[in-house]
Amino acid sequence: MSNQPAQPRDAAAKPARERVVIIGSGFGGLFAARKLAHTGVDVTIIAKTSHHLFQPLLYQVATGVLSQGEIAPATREILRGQKNARVMLGDVTQIDVEAKTVTSQSPVGEAVTSYDTLVVAAGAGQSYFGNDHFSEFAPGMKSIDDALELRGRIFGAFEMAEVLQDPEEIQQWLTFVVVGAGPTGVEMAGQIAELAHSTLKRDFRRIDPTKARVLLLDAAPAVLPPFGEKLGKKAQAQLERMGVEVQLDVKVVNVDEEAVDVIDPDGSPRRIQTRTKVWAAGVQASPLGQQLAEQTGAETDRAGRVMVEEDCTLPGHPEIFVIGDMMSLKRYPGVAQVAMQQGKYAAKTITHRIKHPGGEKLPAFEYFDKGSMATVSRFHAVAKINDRIQLSGFFAWLAWLGVHIVYLIGFKNRVTTLLHWTVTFIGRGRSERAVTDQQVVARMALHREKLATEAEQAQTAENGAA
Ligand SMILES: Cc1cc2nc3c(=O)[nH]c(=O)nc-3n(C[C@H](O)[C@H](O)[C@H](O)COP(=O)(O)OP(=O)(O)OC[C@H]3O[C@@H](n4cnc5c(N)ncnc54)[C@H](O)[C@@H]3O)c2cc1C
């Protein structure tokens, strides 16, 4: 990493064309960039991954249904036909609202990019509610790295059980705990149960995978709370038919290598012996939100989301849009549709301002809710279109299938995804069971290296202060 002081690469005279910088290549960032095609602006999209990630299907990568490429096409491939868009790899560490610059880090050093208009769509990460040490033993599900690590841990657990002798140890490896009964937790628990009870049923000689326990825990009293009581109960009943043990009102108080400690509804502690845990509870907005709030006086909520104006900009800063999972507005949910619609709205506002300088503002952003869906198992999903139209079972699953295919980016990804779904849903097989050492071991090594570097830096700072 270069230690040279970075210069804005475009710090010279302001160019004639409006420079729009977008942070993030997720749903918000990508939809904003695409909507700015064929307009008179220059778009730079800066993201810390080189792909656009379709997060709703991450759980299928983790459980061997899909490959990572199918849900994460390269951003520059998606935008290759859009001549006014440039894609840049970089982890944004600093936004300077006064200087109108964005500083990003990449393996080759630091870059400073100037903007006229900024769209911040850096999303949210996992929250462990102040217990970040849980993450070592209970990975979340936010990135391709998370999904591949979980794939390694899930399939690896059956392999470990097969070579062990001690029945208690075998059962510990064959116990899977998913924390959080929202859509991701429900989908993960359902998929692990299907793996154990059907896909892997005949693959082992010493263990019986159907004896695996899958537990879904939540501190709340219901499954899928945003879907309402009726659909939540239907999803819970379907999970229980598949053998998932749903435990509600149960608070997780500790996670270590061998177990999860919980407090039951009656207040008594319990230790669940398990080697494989999945964390699907809680989100924390990108720290860039806090940075923006400090510089502009905007407020943030408990999850670090920035409270934006009705046009998705920051108070007193019409040139900065904050959209998607990292903003807070009218209690809109953290879902892909909000991010996409806000991305398009920000782009429309930018072009409107250029065409009508000093003219009337566009109407405030209004989210059009198209409904929510979650799959529970093969051929079973729940879908809440609105308070009147609520579906569960096979037709909801068909609707889920259609919607996800439509929103997957790229024709070739749609074709290969359909092929893999056929293998899984008709044949019950999984095409993506390969696991490399790197997925499980190297990530931990990187994590430890990061901790060691941080400790070293802290020590150096302490010595310097002494
Ligand atoms: C497992 C899972 C399942 C989900 N299922 C559904 C579902 O079924 N339906 C639904 O509607 N929603 C679902 N969601 C939520 C949905 O994916 C999000 O609401 C949506 O992705 C938000 O879009 P976004 O653009 O705000 O953020 P994201 O899509 O998260 O994109 C954030 C982008 O910012 C980049 N970034 C972050 N920090 C930096 C930085 N410092 N510097 C540079 N780049 C940065 C990231 O690399 C990424 O490109 C799910 C989410 C998850 C995690």
What percent of the chain has pLDDT above 70?
A: 94
Ligand 1 mean position, distance from CA 71 (Å): 12
Cα(325) to ligand 1 centroid in Å equals 7
Residue nearest to atom 46 of ligand 1 (CA): 24
Single-letter code of the amino acid located at 272: I
Spatial distance between the Cα atoms of 322 and 343, rounded to a whole number of angstroms = 9
Confidence band of 301 (pLDDT split at 50, 70, 90): very high
User: pLDDT, tens digit, for every residue of 387-401?
Assistant: 888 999 999 999 998
- Characterize the bridge pairing of strands 109-114 and 101-106: antiparallel
Report whether 82 contacts 105 (CB < 8 A). Answer: no
Contact 381, 375 (CB under 8 A): yes
pLDDT tens track for 156-177: 999 999 999 999 999 999 999 9
pLDDT, one tens digit per residue, over 244-264 is 999 999 999 999 999 999 999
Judged against a pLDDT cut of 50, whether residue 452 lies above it is answered with yes
CA–CA dist 249, 271 (Å, integer)? 15
Q: Which two tokens stand for residue 189?
A: 């628990």
How much is the pLDDT for 442?
A: 62
pLDDT confidence of residue 112? 98
Mean pLDDT, all residues of the chain = 91
Q: In CATH terms, are 18-48+90-126+284-355 and 132-281+371-435 the same topology? A: yes
Query: Pocket residues for ligand 1 (CB within 6 Å)?
Result: 23-29, 46-49, 55-56, 58, 91-92, 121-123, 141-142, 183-184, 286, 288, 324-325, 334-337, 339
- Whole-number pLDDT of residue 185: 97
Contact between 284 and 301 under an 8 Å Cβ cutoff? The reply is no
Distance 81 CA to ligand 1 centre (A): 24
**pLDDT at residue 207 in the model:** 96
Q: At 413, which amino acid appears? A: N
Residue owning tokens 């250029």:
354
Decide if 306 contacts 15 (C-beta within 8 A): no
Rounded Cα–Cα distance for residues 312 and 327 (Å): 8
* Strand (E) or helix (H) holding 394: helix 394-407
Name the pLDDT band for 87 (thresholds 50, 70, 90): very high
Q: Which residues are catalytic?
A: 187
For 18, the 3-state DSSP assignment is: strand
DSSP annotation of 371 reads -
Whether the CB-CB separation of 160 and 173 falls below 8 Å is answered with: yes
Q: What is the residue extent of each domain of the chain?
A: 18-48+90-126+284-355, 132-281+371-435, 441-466
Beta carbons within 8 Å of 139's beta carbon, 6+ residues apart: 146, 149, 150, 153, 278, 279
> Which residues, in sequence order, are bridge partners of residue 193?
none
Q: For ligand 1, atom 6, which residue shows the shortest CA distance? A: 56
| 3-class state of residue 201 by DSSP | coil
Closest by CA to 409, choosing from 75, 146, 84, is 75
* Å from CA of 124 to ligand 1 middle: 6
Residue nearest to atom 17 of ligand 1 (CA): 55
Instruction: Looking at the CA of residue 123, tell me the nearest atom of ligand 1.
Output: 27
Res. 13 pLDDT band, cuts 50 70 90:
low
- Which residue is it, tokens 């407020």? 299
Q: CA 370 to CA 386: how far, in whole Å?
A: 8
Per-residue pLDDT band for 408 (boundaries 50, 70, 90) equals confident
Measured by CA distance, the residue closest to atom 39 of ligand 1 is 122
Residue 94: beta bridge partners?
Answer: 103
Report the nearest atom of ligand 1 relative to the CA of 52. Answer: 49
What CATH code is assigned to 132-281+371-435? 3.50.50.100
325-363: pLDDT as tens digits: 999 999 999 999 999 999 999 999 999 999 998 888 999
Q: Which of 10-19, 84-93, 423-432 has the lowest mean pLDDT?
A: 10-19
pLDDT in the model for residue 8: 47
For residue 10, pLDDT over 60 is answered with no
CA of 50 to the centre of ligand 1 (A): 14
Q: How far is the CA of 184 from the centre of ligand 1 (A)?
A: 13
Report which of 250, 260, 261 is spatially closest to residue 138, judged by C-alpha positions. 260
**Candidate of 58, 150, 335 to mutate for ligand 1, largest count of ligand atoms within 8 Å of Cβ:** 335
Which SS3 state, helix, strand or coil, does residue 147 take?
A: helix
For 393, other C-beta atoms within 10 Å of its C-beta total: 15
> d(Cα 436, Cα 442) in Å, to the nearest integer?
10
Atom of ligand 1 nearest to the CA of 343: 25
Residue nearest to atom 4 of ligand 1 (CA): 56
Domain 18-48+90-126+284-355 class in CATH: alpha beta
pLDDT tens digit string along 114-138?
A: 999 999 999 999 999 999 889 889 9
Q: Ligand 1, atom 53: nearest CA belongs to which residue?
A: 142
Q: Which atom of ligand 1 is nearest to the CA of 287?
A: 41
Q: How far is the centre of ligand 1, averaged over its atoms, from the C-alpha of 131 (Å)?
A: 22
Inter-axis angle of helices 394-407 and 411-425, to 10 degrees?
Answer: 150
Q: Whose CA is closest to atom 36 on ligand 1?
A: 122
Q: Using CA atoms in the order 349, 355, 356, 362, what is the torsion angle rounded to 10 degrees?
A: -20
Whether the predicted pLDDT of 307 surpasses 80: yes
Question: What per-residue confidence (pLDDT) applies to 445?
Answer: 65
Q: What would the mean pLDDT of 58-82 be, rounded to a whole number? A: 95
pLDDT band, residue 90 (cuts 50/70/90):
very high
pTM for this one?
Answer: 0.91
Instruction: Using a pLDDT cut of 90, give the percent of the chain over it.
Output: 76
Cα separations (Å) of 206 from 201, 209, 270, 274, 407?
Answer: 12, 9, 29, 19, 42
414-448 confidence digits (pLDDT tens): 888 888 888 888 878 888 888 887 776 666 666 67
- pLDDT for the residue numbered 407: 86
Residue 466: per-residue pLDDT:
65
- Closest atom of ligand 1 to 280 CA is 1
Strand-strand pairing, 327-328 and 306-307: parallel
